[in-house]
Amino acid sequence: MKNIAILCSGGDVSGMNPALKHFVEYSLQKLLTPFFIYDGYEGLIDNNIKEVAYKDVAGIINRGGTKIGSSRSQRFMEKSYRNIAKKNLDMLNINMLIVLGGDGSFRGLDVFYKEHGVKFCGIPSTIDNDISLTEYCLGVDSALNIIKTSIDSIRDTASSFKRAFVIETMGRDCGFLALVSALTSGAELCLIPEKEYNLKSLEESFKNQIKNGRRYFIAIVAEGIKDDSQTIANWFEQKIGMQARVSVLGHIQRGGNPTIYDRLMAYRFVNNAIDALLEGKKDGVICYTKDGFKYKNIDEVVNTPFVLDPELLKFLKNI
Ligand code: F6P
């Protein structure tokens, strides 16, 4: 039997638990012995690695977060700790690794592979949806649905009070969550880091809208824009003449029950990752595009600059 391990690194996403469940099921089906590495690269260094069976993944498919923990490991950036990690894997005869994480996690893995030759396959998992060459990262659909529900609730109170609401989404330097949420919630304004904006140029139009009967504004802003959300709210109060409030959605966006789409994508990503390793692939990431799932070499993924889908960006002209 060959040994295979999985770990989660970086921000957790809803969809990791379904992925862990299917990792165990599909590994056993392929006659592999599955192991969990707890708390990300920290657990790899601290030898927090355990063989697992079906019973370990019972009842987790509907849960957000990750049963095996995650971390943003500073120690894994140091060679001496990566050497310890390699020794821990050797002791358990593990030579195949699956990592659920984002761009930063994959960069660390790339270095680890080049130093020690441990075969790995990454599964893009971040609500930011900011990994090059894949159109979808696990957890994005669940996050978008939470944002949608939050905006729908805030709209009720915005309309009752004649208020502007500035709703801040996560995404680090990427505006994907904000843009898609603004579009699909019919927001009046969307500000993202990928697009320069000039609030002054909007003032006349916004004031006219109020004259014509508009009772509220919903503005969706990404956390990575140049201004903080309170500055945008102040602009509504001082320049547009409408009382404004800020709602920072924060970590609520990362948790919660995974959507059907994320559960299914978790299964599909895991199948592709395990198959790639069994076919002899050594250092890559499973990417998803409209042509389906494709294995891409890690260098290609981490060295291709990320760009937000230009087709989506075109919609910004209207918001
Ligand atoms: O990368 C995922 C993410 O949720 C970002 O959107 C956000 O900026 C960051 O993680 C928050 O990190 P932490 O949970 O460490 O505060």
Q: How many residues does the chain have?
A: 319
- Is 34:160 a contact under the CB 8 Å cutoff? no
Q: Which of 12, 128, 141, 262 is catalytic?
A: 128
Residue located nearest, by CA, to atom 15 of ligand 1: 11
pTM for the structure as a whole: 0.97
The C-alpha atoms of residue 196 and residue 187 are separated, in whole angstroms, by 18
As averages over each run of 10 residues, the pLDDT of the chain (319 residues) reads 94 98 98 98 98 97 98 97 98 97 93 96 98 98 98 93 96 98 97 96 97 97 98 98 97 96 98 98 96 96 95 88
Other beta carbons less than 10 A from residue 87's beta carbon: 11
Residue located nearest, by CA, to atom 3 of ligand 1: 11
**DSSP-derived secondary structure letter, 195:** S
Q: From the CB of 127, is ligand 1 less than 6 Å away?
A: yes
Residue located nearest, by CA, to atom 6 of ligand 1: 171
Question: What is the number of the ligand 1 atom nearest to the C-alpha of 10?
Answer: 1
Q: From the CB of 254, is ligand 1 less than 6 Å away?
A: yes
The structure tokens listed for 99 are: 């990592």
Res 85: pLDDT: 98
Q: Which of 42, 52, 40 shows the shortest CA–CA distance to 4?
A: 52
Residue located nearest, by CA, to atom 1 of ligand 1: 11
**DSSP-derived secondary structure letter, 65:** S
User: 191: Cβ–Cβ under 8 A, 6 or more apart, which residues?
Assistant: 178, 197, 219, 220, 221, 222, 225, 227, 232
Question: What is the number of the ligand 1 atom nearest to the C-alpha of 171?
Answer: 6
Res 188: pLDDT: 96
Res 192: pLDDT: 98
Q: From the CB of 172, is ligand 1 less than 6 Å away?
A: yes
- Between the CA of 161 and the centroid of ligand 1 the distance, in Å, is 32
**DSSP-derived secondary structure letter, 84:** H
The C-alpha atoms of residue 249 and residue 36 are separated, in whole angstroms, by 31
Domains in the chain with CATH codes: 2-139+258-304 (3.40.50.450), 141-254 (3.40.50.460)
Question: What is the number of the ligand 1 atom nearest to the C-alpha of 72?
Answer: 15
Res 318: pLDDT: 77
309 belongs to the catalytic site? no
- Between the CA of 295 and the centroid of ligand 1 the distance, in Å, is 26
Question: What is the number of the ligand 1 atom nearest to the C-alpha of 11?
Answer: 2
- Between the CA of 244 and the centroid of ligand 1 the distance, in Å, is 26
Q: From the CB of 107, is ligand 1 less than 6 Å away?
A: no
Q: From the CB of 171, is ligand 1 less than 6 Å away?
A: yes
